[in-house]
Amino acid sequence: MPSKKQIGSLLTAPRATSIIERIHSVRDIILENSTLKRLAGFPYIRNKLGSTEHEAEHALKRALQLYPDLKEIKLFNNYRYYYHSSMSEEDLKAAVTMKMNYIHITKGRKNRIGHNWKAVAEWFIDRFTTGTSGKISLSTKTRTASREPSIQNSALPFATSATARDITATEPNLS
């Protein structure tokens, strides 16, 4: 039977038990999300643990060391997600696709992930340059921009609003 001193020392050492509890909680959270065919992100795990970033980071690091069946995946080299190796390959691909779409929607404006920079450049050219105006049509399937330039108020006195295809270059008559 342990003495009062031994029991007191066990009760006053919450540091060892709290890290073990966090490690087990991390594993449980990842297993729970994997059975639901979802990936568990670091902010989600940290929020569920109710701990600081350092404590959650340490618990995740130790859980990945102790349980080799827990895996980490990084999306866009920035967002860390975790899953259990029991997840099937097609469920994992579907979960990764869903998370990538989620990141595109929620974080796309902030980080410019998946943004159509070609359309932005063409919009600025059309908006802030003189002598041209064009129609920009964005295709949602290919996410590319096509631009049909037109000449307006240019140096040509006879061309007021003709498209570039309508103007043909002719050699001047020198005779």
pLDDT digits (tens, 9 = 90+) for 68-104: 999 999 988 889 999 999 999 999 999 999 999 888 8
Determine the straight-line distance between the first and last CA of the chain, rounded to whole angstroms.
121
The answer to whether the predicted template modeling score (pTM) of the entire model surpasses 0.75 is: no
The predicted pLDDT at position 106 comes to 80
Please name the CATH architecture into which domain 4-111 falls.
Answer: Orthogonal Bundle (1.10)
pLDDT digits (tens, 9 = 90+) for 114-165: 556 666 776 777 777 765 444 544 444 444 444 444 444 444 444 444 444 4
CB-based contact 62:51 (threshold 8 Å): no
Name the segment(s) of the chain with CATH classification 1.10.10.10. 4-111
CB-based contact 160:132 (threshold 8 Å): no
Two tokens, residue 21: 């509890």
